Amino acid sequence: MYWNKEFETMPWQEVQNYCLSKFPAFLEYLKNNSQFYKDRLSSIKSEDIKTLDDLKSIPFLTKNDLRDAQADTDRKNPLGKIQVVDTEDIVQVISSSGTSGRPVYYGATKKDLGIWNDAIANVYYTAGVRKGDIVAHTTGIPLFAGGSSYFEGIRNIEAMTVWPGNLSTSRMLETIRNLHCNVIQATVSFNLYLAERCQDALGVDPRDLGITNIIGGGEPGLGEEAIRQKLKDAWNAKTVREIMGLADVMPAMWGECEEETGMHFNAQKYVMIELIDPETEEHLPWEAGVVGEVVYTNFSRGATPILRYRSADLVRLEGMSCPCGRTSPKIRCIGRADDLIIFKAMNVYPSAIRDVVLTHYKEHLTGQMQVVKDSPEQVRFDTAIPVDIETTLPEEKQADLKQKIESIVRDTLNIRVEANLVPPETIQRTQYKSPLIRIREKDEQ
């Protein structure tokens, strides 16, 4: 049933106490080995940090803090001020995807990798992977968090792990068929793309490939019932499971169990999570229905540890108890704080727009859509928000669909969109994430 029964079924309060008990020694480690943390923690006595409330005296870290800390690097400290061990003890480097600025690089010691192997295996085990499965791991970019660390986590379960990551889409599909893979691990958008390409590339209906479990993450999407159903139908899969992690903290930490009602936290042995209100920065309770931002502390990471890191990921708590017996919070990621857009006074995430549109009209859509901004900085819209939406309908039937989409979004979300229907494969596919937002080209009207 479980990869780590003790931690996965321990009452959540006990888990939090266990994590808190790690703080005093962790803070001393940071102060003794890092000028960056020594400066930030100068007024804090490590032994005084005992309760959740005590954590409030420790300043939050943001991506910009980390980026600034990495502005000056040299051969001795290639990871800048966030490097807490000697370079000779770092055995691997991974990078954030850099979608919102210069990427930040993180290191791992040999011990760190052992910890990831265990925690990431825990995530995939929760997501249903077992010895005997044949898993296609499709991430094509070794430097990203979802590269070798996912591969090694899956292999740690002793599933037969196939990594065709850098092959063309056709060769990848061929590999999946030749080796009889039954599980596909891919980002949501790439998984949809693989299913779209299958007939052309192999002359085979993806539903005939024998895929039983689709595992996806890396971007919002699988929390949306319509996308989930679309993937399930496309591959005729029995299960669809979502996973999530962060290069900044640990590549995978959340995994969805057989109930398929949200992702459990699976890294409780190595990482402490807090839930805060992104505006007031006050703690929020771990209770069903609460929406907040997750703050992470990886008290076990040696090379580039992170203390109270604001993820900017907004999550909704789906529950604190589950028929599977796991006791950790169960969440859906509802969007990135950076992706928030405002129509007049209404806040909305692009993923919410996609959810509404697909829920009602998925039979005419590929599932790919993008909000179009005039500039990267644009947050506010005073006129209808332009959204490119791929449709499979012929042109003569599009006017009716356009009007229906615009009405359903207005009625459901209280915002106005301008649905720009485009043919399939107009929106650029990538092997990694397909952003839900794009910036208007200069020569575009």
Interface residues toward Zn ion, by CB under 5 A = 257, 259, 322, 324, 326
In terms of CB distance, is 266 or 304 closer to Zn ion? 266
Q: Find the shortest distance in angstroms from Cβ 237 to Zn ion.
A: 19
Tell me whether residue 138 is exposed, middle or buried, using C-beta atoms within 10 angstroms of its C-beta: 0 to 12, 13 to 18, 19 or more: buried
Could you say which DSSP state residue 101 is in?
A: S
In terms of CB distance, is 68 or 259 closer to Zn ion? 259
Q: Find the shortest distance in angstroms from Cβ 293 to Zn ion.
A: 23
Q: Find the shortest distance in angstroms from Cβ 262 to Zn ion.
A: 8
CB 41 within 8 A of CB 27: yes
In terms of CB distance, is 314 or 322 closer to Zn ion? 322
Q: Find the shortest distance in angstroms from Cβ 259 to Zn ion.
A: 5
Strand arrangement of the beta sheet that strand 346-348 belongs to:
346-348, 341-343, 380-381
In terms of CB distance, is 215 or 389 closer to Zn ion? 215
Distance CA 94, CA 144 (A): 6
Tally DSSP H helices, then E strands, for the chain: 12, 20
Report CA dihedral (152, 134, 158, 301) to the nearest 10 degrees. Answer: 20
Q: Find the shortest distance in angstroms from Cβ 330 to Zn ion.
A: 6
Distance CA 316, CA 224 (A): 13
The token pair that represents 191 in the structure block: 């998984």
In terms of CB distance, is 144 or 265 closer to Zn ion? 265
In terms of CB distance, is 257 or 317 closer to Zn ion? 257
Q: Find the shortest distance in angstroms from Cβ 322 to Zn ion.
A: 3
Distance CA 157, CA 120 (A): 10
- The dihedral through the CA atoms of 297, 298, 302, 306 has a sign that is negative
Instruction: Give the three-state DSSP class for 214.
Output: strand
In terms of CB distance, is 241 or 308 closer to Zn ion? 241
Instruction: Give the three-state DSSP class for 136.
Output: strand
Q: Find the shortest distance in angstroms from Cβ 257 to Zn ion.
A: 3
